[in-house]
């Protein structure tokens, strides 16, 4: 019996199979690690000397490079003005914008203060030349449509930051590779994030809208920072040799300055990324809230929610709001609006946000016309195309056609009534909202006070005459005329 137990304990089946499984798992993990390293490793195929020389050569803006930049800015401006993405991409392919920004990122990474100085100087030349070219084009060119391609560059969101950062990464990695990669990669990677905002700065200045220019310049600035940050990180990762100075004190001083500048660049980059991310998340939740509440609300009569006129406003502290417009004579009931507000509070970023519902049905006819006109004028820059603007105007004209017919000039009516009907002591007018629980309508209501000296028969006859006259006068047989004491 004991010998059988010893035999079972010494059997290779249990222990050895476990060891073999561990060896197989380790071998698989090792092969996977090796495969990923060979797939993603870029240091061994990097040429630091050639990369540095090529970046330095692209820093200056002189001669041919300046003219190429001017031509590409003109092409991009035409593309943005015509709302043509294809033309904008064509301008990107020939744009030489990468030099100074790469120079700034690389100089900070390798501790080269002279390169940083040259890069900053040429970067300033690039910005001034680009904005001046775009300004002249939009100032002289007779067509200045506020296209969606232009308006999209007046305010940054998280996608613009990501485009700049990953575009910068792709650009520097491609530039550091041994051998030659088509220059198209360089142009697209940098121009995607930089050319359209610069053109939009010139456009905003040319049409006299500095807020457009400021928004586009802000977008250009954060894109520049993140492209430079990507360059700095890649150069550091690739371990490019640092610039050495004969004077050790000078070397230490330059290293401190470069490190300080690098930190100063990273701080606003991080803050900007956080701010833009918060705004993007806020707007995303706001759009989800509107899609689940306001957009699915079913109007029963003459009412309509216009998404293009919705204003989603974000503030870092307090003051954020969501403003929606309900057009037409039908009102959204207050209990429905309160339900929307309660639903809004279920979204973490919308708890303290003010929900404003602008309803045309609460105003008289003249105020409705004024409201639509003001709302359209203030929001027309946000409409995508001229066709969209025409469509909105046509719908508003059709929607308020009935109101035009019902418009009552109360002053004229009171003057006529005073002359024609001596029996009237006072007269009032208002728009009365009424419903039969199937439809809701706004009906003009006149309230007439007759003189106390009249008998009951005289009052009845006078009220009939006044009602008949008012229906003919305002050309509306549905009006209500009521005697008040």
pLDDT tens per residue across span 217-242: 887 887 788 888 888 888 888 888 88
DSSP string, 8-62: HHT-HHHHHHHHHHHHHHHHHHHHHHHHHHHHH--STTB-HHHHHHHHHHHS---
Q: For the chain, what is the largest distance between any 2 Cα atoms, rounded to a whole number of angstroms? A: 134
Do 414 and 393 belong together in one domain? no
Is the CA virtual torsion 302, 304, 309, 311 positive or negative? positive
- The domain spanning residue 192 has which CATH number? 1.20.1080
Do 448 and 348 belong together in one domain? no
pLDDT tens per residue across span 134-153: 898 888 876 666 666 666 66
Do 234 and 287 belong together in one domain? no
Q: Is residue 402's pLDDT more than 60?
A: no
C-alpha span between 24 and 204 (Å, rounded) = 65
Domain count, the chain: 3
C-alpha span between 212 and 191 (Å, rounded) = 20
Of the candidates 350, 384, 404, which is a domain's last residue?
Answer: 404
Scored b (16 or more CB within 10 A) or e, 98-114 reads: bbbbbbbbbbbbbbbbe
Establish if 11 belongs to a structural domain: no
Scored b (16 or more CB within 10 A) or e, 306-330 reads: beebbebebeeeeebebebbbbbbb
Do 141 and 158 belong together in one domain? yes
Which has the higher per-residue pLDDT, 182 or 105? 105
Q: Is residue 455's pLDDT more than 50?
A: yes
- Residue 325: strand pairing partners: 358
Do 362 and 462 belong together in one domain? no
Establish if 21 belongs to a structural domain: no
C-alpha span between 176 and 158 (Å, rounded) = 27
Q: Is residue 14's pLDDT more than 70?
A: no
The per-residue pLDDT for 387 is 61
Instruction: Give the chain's mean pLDDT.
Output: 76
The per-residue pLDDT for 22 is 78
The per-residue pLDDT for 396 is 63
Which has the higher per-residue pLDDT, 144 or 283? 283
Do 388 and 462 belong together in one domain? no
Establish if 211 belongs to a structural domain: yes
Establish if 128 belongs to a structural domain: yes
- The SS3 call for residue 239 is coil
Of the candidates 404, 437, 456, which is a domain's last residue?
Answer: 404
With CA atoms as reference, report the closest residue to 417 among 457, 376, 448, 461. 448
C-alpha span between 373 and 183 (Å, rounded) = 50
Reported confidence tier of residue 3, pLDDT bands at 50, 70, 90: very low
The per-residue pLDDT for 364 is 45
Do 192 and 218 belong together in one domain? yes
Q: pTM of whole model > 0.75? A: no
C-alpha span between 322 and 285 (Å, rounded) = 11
- Three-class SS string for 360-398? HHHCCHHHHHHHHHHHHHHHHHHCCCHHHHHHHHHHHHH
The per-residue pLDDT for 182 is 46
Do 173 and 66 belong together in one domain? yes
- Residue 427: give the domain boundaries: 408-483
pLDDT tens per residue across span 300-337: 777 778 777 788 888 877 788 898 888 777 788 888 88
| CA-atom Rg of the chain in angstroms | 36
Residues 6+ apart with CB under 8 A from 213: 200, 201, 202, 203, 204, 205
With CA atoms as reference, report the closest residue to 153 among 218, 210, 93. 218
Do 360 and 449 belong together in one domain? no
The per-residue pLDDT for 186 is 53
pLDDT tens per residue across span 64-75: 888 888 888 888
Do 82 and 163 belong together in one domain? yes
């Amino acid at each position: 019996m004991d010998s059988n137990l010893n035999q079972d304990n010494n059997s290779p089946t249990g222990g050895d199979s476990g060891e073999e499984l561990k060896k197989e798992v380790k071998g698989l993990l090792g092969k996977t690690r090796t495969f990923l390293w060979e797939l993603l490793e870029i240091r061994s195929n990097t040429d630091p000397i050639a990369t540095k020389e090529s970046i330095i050569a692209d820093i200056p803006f002189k001669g041919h490079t300046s003219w190429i930049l001017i031509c590409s800015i003109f092409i991009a401006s035409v593309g943005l003005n015509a709302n043509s993405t294809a033309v904008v991409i064509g301008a990107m392919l020939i744009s030489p914008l990468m030099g100074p920004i790469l120079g700034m990122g690389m100089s900070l990474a390798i501790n080269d203060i002279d390169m940083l100085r040259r890069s900053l100087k040429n970067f300033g030349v690039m910005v001034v030349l680009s904005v001046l070219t775009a300004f002249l084009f939009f100032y002289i060119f007779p067509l200045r449509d506020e296209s969606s391609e232009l308006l999209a560059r007046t305010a940054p969101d998280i996608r613009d930051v990501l485009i700049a950062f990953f575009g910068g990464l792709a650009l520097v990695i491609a530039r550091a590779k041994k051998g030659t990669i088509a220059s198209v990669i360089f142009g697209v990677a940098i121009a995607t994030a930089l050319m359209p905002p610069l053109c939009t700065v010139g456009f905003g200045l040319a049409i006299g809208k500095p807020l457009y220019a400021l928004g586009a310049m802000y977008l250009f600035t954060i894109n520049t920072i993140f492209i430079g940050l990507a360059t700095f990180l890649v150069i550091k990762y690739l371990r490019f040799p640092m610039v050495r100075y004969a004077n050790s004190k000078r070397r230490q001083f330059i290293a401190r300055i470069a490190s300080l500048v690098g930190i100063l660049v990273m701080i606003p980059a991080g803050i900007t990324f956080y701010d833009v991310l918060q705004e993007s998340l806020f707007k995303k939740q706001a759009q989800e809230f509107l899609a689940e509440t306001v957009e699915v609300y079913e109007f029963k009569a003459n009412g309509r929610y216009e998404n293009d006129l919705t204003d989603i406003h974000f503030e870092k502290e307090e003051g954020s709001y969501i403003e929606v417009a309900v057009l037409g004579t039908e009102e959204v009931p207050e209990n429905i609006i309160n339900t929307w507000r309660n639903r809004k509070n279920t979204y973490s970023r919308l708890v303290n946000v003010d929900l404003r519902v602008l309803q045309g049905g609460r105003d008289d006819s003249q105020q409705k016309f004024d409201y639509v006109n003001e709302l359209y004028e203030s929001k027309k820059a946000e409409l995508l195309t001229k066709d969209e603007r025409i469509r909105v105007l046509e719908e508003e004209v059709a929607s308020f056609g009935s109101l035009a017919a019902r418009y009552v000039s109360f002053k004229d009516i009171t003057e006529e009534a005073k002359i024609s009907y001596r029996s009237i002591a006072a007269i009032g007018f208002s728009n009365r909202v009424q419903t039969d629980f199937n439809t809701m309508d706004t009906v003009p209501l006149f309230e007439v006070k007759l003189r106390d000296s009249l008998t009951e028969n005289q009052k009845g006859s006078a009220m009939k005459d006044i009602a008949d006259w008012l229906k003919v006068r305002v050309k509306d047989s549905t009006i209500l005329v009521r005697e008040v004491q």
